[in-house]
Amino acid sequence: MALALDRPVGGVLFDRDDTLVVDVPYNADPHLVVPVPGARRAVARARAAGLRLGVVTNQSVIAKGMATAEQVAATNARVDELVGPFDVWCVCPHDAGDGCDCRKPRPGLVLAAAEVLDVPVAELVVIGDIGADVGAARAAGAQGILVPTPRTRREEVDAADTVAADLDEAVSLVLASRAVRTA
């Protein structure tokens, strides 16, 4: 599966946990941040291609009272230091039952990132490890790439329009798609 070749790509939005960094459930400790293999290189390739970059992440740890927004921001800053830099961070602090518009798979984080990046949402690609990530992309009008992990459910893989084996392959799909359109 490949990205649609009918529109340009101006930016990439990454999920944080299990996409850019090894998932530590409810992590709000910068010392526990470990990039997934190849993350730094993949992000650097996207940046070198001139794409605007951002992170869209659900962080219900805040709503659950297990961490403060400041602790999550410090953790995100560590991710930025190890893997970034990113042009924008959009964080949903709500829990699943809060009914907000920002929690993935709702489109709010993707729409907010598009506005900050000044990139039309249709020109964004969201890369993540679960159905909520690609669902948020679809709901916002962006494209999505699923990078499954052992925790990704089979039905999420089956429902994804585009699936990549790892983060580097996902970025390669974005860059190849971009190269085809601009050639």
Q: What is the mean pLDDT of residues 154-179?
A: 91
Model confidence pLDDT, tens digit, residues 112-151: 999 999 999 999 999 999 999 999 999 999 999 999 999 9
Collect all residues with Cβ–Cβ distance below 8 Å to 180 and sequence separation of at least 6: 5
Residues classed as catalytic:
15, 17
Query: 23-55, pLDDT tens digit by residue?
Result: 999 999 999 999 999 999 999 999 999 999 999
Whether 113 and 140 have beta carbons less than 8 Å apart is answered as no
Q: Which CATH class is domain 11-182?
A: alpha beta
- In the chain, what are the domain boundaries? 11-182
Alpha carbons 1 and 144: distance in angstroms, whole number: 11
Sheet holding 124-128, edge to edge: 88-92, 52-58, 11-14, 124-128, 143-146
Percent of the chain with pLDDT over 90: 88
Is the pLDDT at 3 greater than 70? The verdict is no
- Give residue 17's pLDDT: 96
- pLDDT of residue 182 exceeding 70: no
Q: Is the pLDDT of residue 183 over 50?
A: no
When the pLDDT of each residue in the chain is averaged and rounded to a whole number, the result is 93
Helix axes 167-182, 39-48, angle to 10 degrees: 10
